[in-house]
Structure 1
Amino acid sequence: MKKTLLAFTLMFAVGAFAQEKTINDHKYLIVPRKFEFLREPNKYNMNELTKMVFEKYGFTVFYDDQKLPDELALDRCKALYGDLLNDSGMLATNVYIQIKDCNGKVLYKSERGNSKTKDYKKAYTEALREASHSLVSLNYQYSGGNDIVLKANELKSTPKQEQVTTPVVSVQAPETLSVINGNQLFAQPITNGYQLVDMTPKVVLKMYKTSQPDNYTAQGDGKNGVVFKKGNEWFFEYYKDDKLVSEKLNIKF
């Protein structure tokens, strides 16, 4: 009896590990432009919000009618497929987030997201936000698959180059107040730039192109300044009470 119980426990553990590995082995995720339970594409902004949710948790997301990368266009099984399931009743709006593989096998289903708000748009948004909280349990992180092997081979085959020492010039910078904006912001194209929206979704900042790449004039919430990229990070700099503020932003393009 003990041996049988142990074998069952090991099988369950291996199965759970295999599911996690299956999800982490996929870089891409595809969501529909229209959900089956809604009459119009992106009704109540739900498809765009669902795409944002998956992007927040690290997936590279495309719509099902969007032009795909060559490797994905040639093999759709390189992607996972996200969906939103509706289980609403007369008194409440209930939704679930679901992830399948290319064969239709369900790999993940979220906890139920619930809202009793009577306004449909607000209700679906609230329910989706609540359901999205359980996605953190996936602990999704793209494992890289064969990409890791390819990069390792590239490093082996790349000849060593002589290291060139560049003299460092010390420049005294003005006193700056550094802050970090922890909210996930999503860049949506507008005329001559982008608008940054949060998960609400609310427009928090508008960025306008300049003649320099990755440099924008910006305004929002009574602040006027510049947004620029330094290394792999984005910063919004503006003056507040005659003091320069450098605000680090978490932007998803």
Structure 2
Amino acid sequence: MKKTLLLLSMLLSGVCFSQNINDYKYMVVPVKFDFLREENKYNLNTLTKIMFEKYGFVTYMSDQKLPDEVALNKCKALYGTLESDSGVLSTALYVTIRDCDGKVVFKSQRGVSKIKDFKQAYYDALRQAAGSLESLNYQYSGNDIVTVANEMKSTPTQDAMPVENSVAKPVEVSNQSQLFAQPIANGYQLVDMTPKVVLKMYKTSQQDNYTAQGDGKNGVVFKKGNEWFFEYYQNDKLVSEKLNIKF
């Protein structure tokens, strides 16, 4: 009976959140999470930005140039972040959305991973927590409400149901095609022998780490050792594609 009431409460809360969140077009993600010492550690901030973009938000990192309407009025945007609830034996994350006053307007279910590798554990926990965003059914309403953020109620949610711990390993693929990096504003474009632009990479605050997009894929390109990898989500699965890049 308690579980039924809890689930019903979450569903009703989700409807309330959706009605308010749909009035917002922009989402801002910090370049550093409170529970990590470095900016964009493990590319986690970039992946969080990509996650919000996947669900329809026009998303910016906090160090990027914001649209004029947001720069002039911070209440025109929502602010998405990750919160850690990790223990000794597990890594746990919540996706939290706040308004300009810092009030919580959405909190995801708890994403939990027992993978020992920190990077993969954070990816796994984020993937699980991000599933809660489906319930928002977010679609920008087009309403130009300046004070809407001040009217939201702070109603954090609790876990609806236990989360199954699953070990999510990236699907590894190798792209043997020779790609040539050509400088563009804020990064590079990768072209093949055709030549055809197959991927665009944009600089982040971390050396050898880029946000990337191309052929309907959005993700991150980073250097590991002497090799380059393009990681992105495809059908809710993390894909790690090895790239052959010549700069």
- Give a deviation string over 1:175-199, Cα, whole Å, max 9, x none: xxxxxxxxxxxxxxxxxxxxxxxx9
CA 1:35–1:202: 2 relative to 1, 3 Å: farther
d(CA) in 2 for partners of 1:201, 1:73: 40
Contact 2:96 2:104 in 1 (8 A): yes
Contact 1:27 1:142 in 2 (8 A): yes
- Larger Rg belongs to: 1
Give 3-state SS (helix, strand or coil) of 1:50's partner. Answer: helix
Give 3-state SS (helix, strand or coil) of 1:96's partner. Answer: strand
- Give a deviation string over 1:186-220, Cα, whole Å, max 9, x none: xxxxxxxxxxxxx98989796867xxxxxx8844x
d(CA) in 2 for partners of 1:201, 1:82: 29
> What residue number does 2:95 align with?
97
Give 3-state SS (helix, strand or coil) of 1:68's partner. Answer: coil
Q: How many residues align?
A: 164
The one-letter amino acid of 2:63's match is D
Cα distance, 1:62 vs. partner?
Answer: 1.0
> What residue number does 1:193 align with?
none
Cα distance, 1:91 vs. partner?
Answer: 0.8
Unaligned runs of 5+ in 1: 1-8, 148-198, 210-215, 229-247
> What residue number does 1:195 align with?
none
d(CA) in 1 for partners of 2:196, 2:49: 28
CA 1:217–1:90: 2 relative to 1, 3 Å: closer
Question: Within 5 A, what are the aligned runs for 1:33-44?
Answer: 33-44=31-42
d(CA) in 2 for partners of 1:129, 1:52: 12
Query: What is the TM-score when the length of structure 1 is the normalising length?
Result: 0.56
Cα distance, 1:65 vs. partner?
Answer: 2.1
Cα distance, 1:19 vs. partner?
Answer: 2.4
Contact 1:207 1:227 in 2 (8 A): no
Give 3-state SS (helix, strand or coil) of 1:137's partner. Answer: helix
Q: Which runs of 4+ in 1 moved over 3 A?
A: 15-18, 199-209, 216-219, 223-228
Unaligned runs of 5+ in 2: 1-7, 146-169, 183-188, 199-213, 220-247
Q: Choose the corresponding residue for 2:196, options 204, 226, 236.
A: 226
d(CA) in 2 for partners of 1:251, 1:36: 29
d(CA) in 2 for partners of 1:140, 1:101: 16
Identity of aligned residues (%): 50
